[in-house]
Amino acid sequence: MEFLAGHNYHIYNQGNNREPIFFEEDDYILFLKKMKISLLPHCKVLAWCLMPNHFHWLININSDYKVLYETNSRSKKLNAINKDIGSLLSSYTQDINRRIGRTGSLFRKRTKAKLMDEERDKHDDYLLNCFLYIHQNPLRAGLVENLEDWAYSSYRDYGGLRNGNLCDIGFTKELLHLPKSQKDFEKLSYKTIPPYYSQKMF
C-alpha cells in the first residue's frame, strides 16, 4: 500500500491462524508504546483497538508526509510508514517470543490497509462509521458489556474517561464532527453500523 498525504486509512492485522498476539496486560502497553514511536512521525491516529488476536487503527497521513523509499534485502521498495509498521510488528514479535519462549512469526505476513476516502466521497458518514466500528470490536466479540469496560481501545480517551496521548482528539472531533457532549458521544458510540459500511471497511 502506498500511503498518500492527507488521506485516511483503516489498518489491521491479526495473529497467525487467529492465535493470540497479546498474552497479558503488559503486552498491550508495550504494543501501544511501539505504536506511538512508529506511527506519530507519519500520521495522526484517529482511533485504535487492540483485541486479543488482532488490532485496528484508523489513521490520517500527515499533510507534509513524504514518501521516502528504501530498498530492503529483497530489493522491494518500502515507503517510510510501511517500513516503520513492519519494524513495529517485528520488534514486538521478538520481545514476545523472547519473553514466552516461542519462535516464528506472531502476525499474519501482510498488514492490510484500506483507503477510506473513496467510499467517503460517496457517503459523508463512512469514516465516522469506521471510527465507531473500531471502538465496538470488544462489544461485538462479547468481551465486555460496555465500551468503557475495554481498556485497550481509544474509546475511553474520547469518552472523557482517560487522558491518553496517542490519538489526536481535537483533530478527530473536527474531522468527524463528533458530538461535544459526553452523553451524545456515548449514545452515538452504540449506534448500529449498517452492513454495507462494515463490508467496505476491509
Q: How many residues are there in the chain?
A: 202
Percent of the chain with pLDDT over 90: 78
- Confidence band (pLDDT; 50, 70, 90) for 8? very high
0.85 cut: is pTM over it?
A: yes
The answer to whether the CB of 59 falls within 8 A of the CB of 43 is yes
The full set of domains in the chain, from first to last, is: 8-200 (3.30.70)
What rounded mean pLDDT belongs to the chain?
A: 91
For residue 153, the SS3 value is strand
Nearest to 55 by CA among 28, 91, 76, 94: 28
For residue 11, the SS3 value is strand
In this predicted model, what pLDDT tens digit does every residue of 157-196 receive, in sequence order? 999 999 999 999 999 999 999 999 999 999 999 999 988 7
CA 126, CA 121: separation in Å to the nearest integer?
Answer: 9
In this predicted model, what pLDDT tens digit does every residue of 76-92 receive, in sequence order? 555 789 999 999 999 99
In this predicted model, what pLDDT tens digit does every residue of 107-136 receive, in sequence order? 999 999 999 987 665 667 889 999 999 999
CA 13, CA 86: separation in Å to the nearest integer?
Answer: 11
In this predicted model, what pLDDT tens digit does every residue of 24-78 receive, in sequence order? 999 999 999 999 999 999 999 999 999 999 999 999 999 888 766 555 555 455 5
